[in-house]
Amino acid sequence: MMLQTIKNKLALSLLPMLMLSNCSAVADQAAPEKSISQSFTLDQAIDYALANNPDLQITAERIGQAEAQLGVALSAFYPQVTAKIGYDHSNNPAQVFSMIVAQRDFNANSINNINNPGYRQNFRPEIIGKLSLFRGGQDYQNSKAAELGISAAEFERSTVRNALIEAVTASYYAYLAAQEAQKVSKDSILAITSELKQSKLRYEAGTVLKSDVLSLEVKLAEAQEAEIRAANGIELAKTGIATLLGLPADDAITVASASSMLPEPKMTASFNDLLELAMTQRPEVKAAANQVGISLRRVKSEQGAYLPKADAYVSYGQNSQSPGFSSGKDNVTAGVSVEMDLFSGLETKNRVSAAERKAAEARETERKTKLAIEQEVKIAFLKLEEALARMRVTEASVRSADEALRLVNEQRRAETVTVTRYIESEVARNKAHSNTIAAHYDALSAEAALKKAVGNWK
Asked if 265 and 384 touch (Cβ cutoff 8 Å), the reply is yes
Cα 283 versus chain centre, distance: 12
> How many CB atoms are located within 10 Å of the residue 29 CB?
7
CA 393, 395, 396, 400 torsion-angle sign: positive
Q: What is the pLDDT of residue 7?
A: 39
Distance of CA 392 to the CA centre of its chain: 36
User: Which of 42, 2, 48, 257 shows the shortest CA–CA distance to 169?
Assistant: 42
Numbers of helices and strands, H then E, in the chain: 11, 6
Closest by CA to 33, choosing from 255, 245, 252, is 252
Output DSSP code: residue 247.
-
DSSP β-bridge partners for residue 233: none
pLDDT of residue 35: 45
Q: d(Cα 44, Cα 39) in Å, to the nearest integer?
A: 9
The sign one gets for the Cα dihedral 94, 95, 96, 101 is: positive
Strand partners, 87: 123
Q: Give buried/exposed letters for 328-365 (b at 16+ CB in 10 A, else e).
A: ebeeeeeeeeeeeeeeeeeebeebbeebbebbeebeee
- pLDDT at position 324, please? 72
Element (H, E) at 428: helix 419-454
Closest among 222, 176, 229 to 427, alpha carbons compared: 222
Q: Please give the Cα distance from 158 to 283 (Å, whole number).
A: 6
How far is it, in rounded angstroms, from Cα 100 to Cα 320? Answer: 9
Task: Enumerate the domain spans of the chain.
Answer: 2-17+65-79+138-308+359-454
In one-letter notation, the amino acid at residue 164 is L
Helix (H, G, I), strand (E, B) or coil at 123: strand
* Residue-by-residue pLDDT tens, the chain, 458 positions: 333 443 344 333 433 333 333 433 333 443 434 445 578 888 899 999 999 999 999 999 999 999 999 999 999 999 999 999 999 999 998 898 888 888 888 887 778 778 888 899 999 999 999 999 999 999 999 999 999 999 999 999 999 999 999 999 999 998 888 888 888 888 888 888 887 888 888 788 887 788 878 888 888 898 899 889 889 988 888 888 989 998 887 776 778 765 556 788 989 899 999 999 999 999 999 999 999 999 999 999 999 999 999 999 999 998 888 887 666 778 899 999 999 989 888 999 999 999 999 999 999 999 999 999 999 999 999 999 999 998 888 888 888 888 887 887 777 777 676 666 777 777 777 778 778 888 888 999 999 999 999 999 87
The closest alpha carbon to 428, from 449, 393, 402, 392, belongs to: 402
Distance of alpha carbon 421 from the chain centroid: 51
Count the neighbouring beta carbons within 10 Å of the beta carbon of residue 435. 27
Q: 393-428: b or e for each residue (b if 16 or more CB lie within 10 Å)?
A: ebeebeeebeebbeebeeebeeeebbbbebbbbbbb
pLDDT at position 398: 80
The region that residue 425 occupies, defined by phi over 0 for left and psi between -120 and 50 for alpha, beta otherwise, is alpha
Return the pLDDT at 219. Answer: 82
Distance between CA atoms of residues 289 and 298, nearest Å: 14
CATH of the structural domain 2-17+65-79+138-308+359-454, one choice from 1.10.1060.10, 2.60.120.330, 1.20.1600.10, 3.40.50.460: 1.20.1600.10
